Amino acid sequence: MLSGSSPFQYSFESSSLEQIASFYYNHLNLNKSTGILNITQALASLESYNFVIIVTNAISTTNLSVVIQVPPSYNATVIWKYSNQYVSASITTTLEYSGSATIPYIPIKIWIDDTISTVLTSDSQGQFSGVYQLSNNFFGRQLEIAASHPVFMLSPIAQDVVFVEYIRISFSQWIYWIYAAYPVTLTEFVTIQNQGNFDLINVTINLTYNSQCIQYYSFFPSVINILPASSSINVSLLILLNCLISNEYMTFSVHESRLFTLASSAFILNSQWSCRTRNNCNNYGSCIDNETCSCTNSYSGDSCQQCASNLFAYPSCVQCPVCVRGQARCNSSVAICDCIDNIRIYGSLCQYCQQGYYGANCEAIPIVFSLSPTSGLELTNETFVTLTGNNFRNVSSFCLLNDENQTISISAAFINTQQMVCVFNSHPAESIRVRLVQNNSVVLSANILIYRYLPSCPLSGCNQGECVMGNCRCRYPYFGKNCSSLPIPPRLMSIPNLTLVEMSSLSFNLSQYLIQGDLPLAWLFIGNVPNGLSIDSLTSLLPWTSAIASLTDYIITVNVLQNSTGVISQQTFSISVPLTYNVSVQFRQSHQILTHSITRLAIIGQINIFDNRTISSQNRIANVWIMIHNVRRYLSTINIPNGSNTFTVYYTPLTNEYGTLCVGGQHPADQLNNIPQDYLTLLG
């Protein structure tokens, strides 16, 4: 019982709450005025909850020690599916378990080998189940399982056990090849390793296969009475084959007296005939029976050691060649062509002529390869042109020149067997074909020979330039064949005056008013232009994104300059942008007498659209000003959204402003409108 004068105050001592913080914050509620302690969903504990409550009134303070015990209210049991049985970790990788609790819908902690595995929740009948996954590095042993209330921090006594056996089977290889006559024997050693902490008893071995070629197999030892924990043994495997076998999948399985199958592993067996005495068919055939070769199409013989019929030059084994200019020589070791004349002919089929010999019979006939130079000026009277080739003769020779209208014959001079020279006279500018004739026969040409007569400068000369390589190179800005022409100067026609709607856009191309003028031209303004108006110097495009209203017309002067000559053409036109509205304003306290206690004054404004004026969709702008003692001050520019014609703005008088206060409003372009539109009196 608690004695003393009310009221009392109740609180927990903070130092006593550190060990039971979760219980305090989630399950306890202390009324600070009444001292009533409420506990909700008490959390079970194997130990008591101890804490101190501080009670205070106006006179003193006292401490109350409180002890709360919440023992576990339920328990659970669990068993393995294979309770007290032996299982193989090689065959089964998950172990099932199930159990029951004394209360439904409660959490159950599962312990495996003294370690927390998971926490499950029982169903409406108090039942629960789960699986335990064996790890990849699992070591064979007995696995104990237990279930408990979640409050337990240490594993309870094991409630069930299962014995997990694990062995590893190792072969020296996974694919075996046997090369031999039949019957043949395969002998292999297989390692069986017990990777567990208890002995295996009465271990037996079995081999499973499908092939009929396995005549017999055996193991030694065939039975392992005891395979101690963490030990291994080598088992000898013998297989006797009596026929060809290919990719035979064979299963090697190990059994234990307490299990049907402990573990299994597989290997692949292949065999093929031996042709070792046949030099493995010289790699030109396949072994189809004991020491029997089947040769590919190009080979024959017991060991595929020779060419097939009508083939020669082993091991290439090719057909006898068809020689172009020679005789074929074919036997078991060669298949070649003997050329009729190695001085004139060469090639594997005698198909090529040696250098200096030409034609079907590789004869030393004249031939022209090229000429030099390949071009000259049309007015040059003597140009020595050298024809280069082979097997030229010192006989009657001349050059044939073929143009579009005629054939010209020019005498050719013999220099040596590889050079002839002709002298070309002047000729109109064009391309002509050149051929060489010796003893009235046209000499063979490796290519079509073309000589080009190039244009020459005019006889009258290059007026405003100089002759370079037969052409007039003109001084800028002159042009033409004799450099006597100048660019046509620019000339502008009259440009019409424009009228725009305030705040509308403009895109005006001035080039349509250019009567003449050769490029390049530059367009530019002369004098002042309104804000936002510009001109593209190359295209003459005149853009204006938002026309600014003005009480007077804008006077625009445009120059077009020809860069090459400096000639300028100029035109002047006007752009009219009339005002579409005006602005009227008044004080909300119009004509009133006010004290200076008024902190700010409301000004109501109106946008007045002129009759029959087209209005832009953009926001409209209004200027508002205040005047006192003939001193005018403008307020910040006001933007009125499209669709609205009224606005309100506020003005805060300065401390020294008193007397008659006037207000006015105007269009930004209407700078001449200085008449006040309303007033009020402000007392000092």
Report the pLDDT value the prediction gives residue 426, as an integer from 0 to 100: 85
Q: Which DSSP helix (H) or strand (E) runs through 25?
A: helix 21-27
CA distance 220 to 207: 13
CA distance 64 to 304: 110
- CATH topology for 367-454 is Immunoglobulin-like (2.60.40)
CA distance 53 to 549: 84
CA distance 437 to 637: 97
CA distance 347 to 343: 12
β-partners of residue 82 are none
CATH level 2 (architecture), domain 491-576: Sandwich (2.60)
Three-class DSSP category at 554: strand
Domain ranges for the chain, please list them: 9-68, 76-165, 167-272, 276-307, 320-362, 367-454, 491-576, 581-682
Burial of 381 (0-12, 13-18, 19+ CB in 10 A): exposed
Same fold? 491-576, 581-682: yes
Contact 296, 281 (CB under 8 A): no
CA distance 538 to 525: 13
- Backbone phi, psi, residue 290, to 5°: -60, 110
**What distance separates the 2 farthest-apart alpha carbons in the chain?**
155
CA distance 366 to 319: 37
* Other Cβ atoms closer than 10 A to 412: 22
CA 529 vs CA 9, 548, 553: distances in Å = 85, 11, 11
Residues 6+ apart with CB under 8 A from 211: 245, 248, 269
Contact 451, 375 (CB under 8 A): yes
CA 451 vs CA 338, 370, 372, 404, 435: distances in Å = 44, 11, 9, 13, 11
Q: Which DSSP helix (H) or strand (E) runs through 27?
A: helix 21-27
Token digits for 252? 């090697």
Token digits for 343? 């001085």
* Other Cβ atoms closer than 10 A to 671: 10
**pLDDT averaged per 10 residues, the chain (length 684):** 74 64 74 84 79 84 84 92 90 91 93 91 94 84 92 90 92 83 81 92 93 89 93 93 85 90 89 83 87 91 92 92 93 92 92 86 88 86 91 92 90 93 88 92 89 81 80 85 89 94 91 92 92 93 92 94 92 93 93 82 92 72 92 90 89 86 93 88 84
Report the pLDDT value the prediction gives residue 266, as an integer from 0 to 100: 92
End-to-end CA distance of the chain: 76
The upper half-sphere exposure of residue 620, i.e. CA atoms within 13 Å in the direction of its Cβ, equals 25
Burial of 626 (0-12, 13-18, 19+ CB in 10 A): buried
Residues 6+ apart with CB under 8 A from 367: 358, 389, 390, 391, 443, 444, 445, 446
DSSP 150-209: TT--S-----EEEEEE-EEEE-S-SEEEEES-SSEEEEEEEEEEE-BSS-EEEEEEEEE-
Report the pLDDT value the prediction gives residue 561, as an integer from 0 to 100: 95
Residues 6+ apart with CB under 8 A from 653: 596, 598, 600, 601, 661, 682
CA distance 661 to 630: 10
Token digits for 487? 């660019």
CATH level 2 (architecture), domain 581-682: Sandwich (2.60)
Whether omega for the bond prior to residue 315 falls within 30 degrees of 0, making it cis, is: yes
Which residue bears the tokens 């019957």? 183
pTM, to two decimals: 0.40
β-partners of residue 284 are none
* Alpha-carbon 127 to chain mean position: 54
DSSP 15-60: GGGSTTHHHHHHHEEE-TTT--EEE-SPPP-SS-EEEEEEEE-SS-
**Beta strand segments in 391-454, E:** 397-402, 407-416, 419-424, 431-438, 441-442, 444-445, 449-454
Q: Which CATH superfamily is domain 167-272 in?
A: Immunoglobulins (2.60.40.10)
Contact 559, 571 (CB under 8 A): no
CATH level 2 (architecture), domain 76-165: Sandwich (2.60)
Whether omega for the bond prior to residue 104 falls within 30 degrees of 0, making it cis, is: no
CA distance 245 to 119: 55
Contact 232, 189 (CB under 8 A): no
Which value, to the nearest 10 degrees, does the dihedral of the CA atoms of residues 411, 414, 419, 423 take?
A: -30
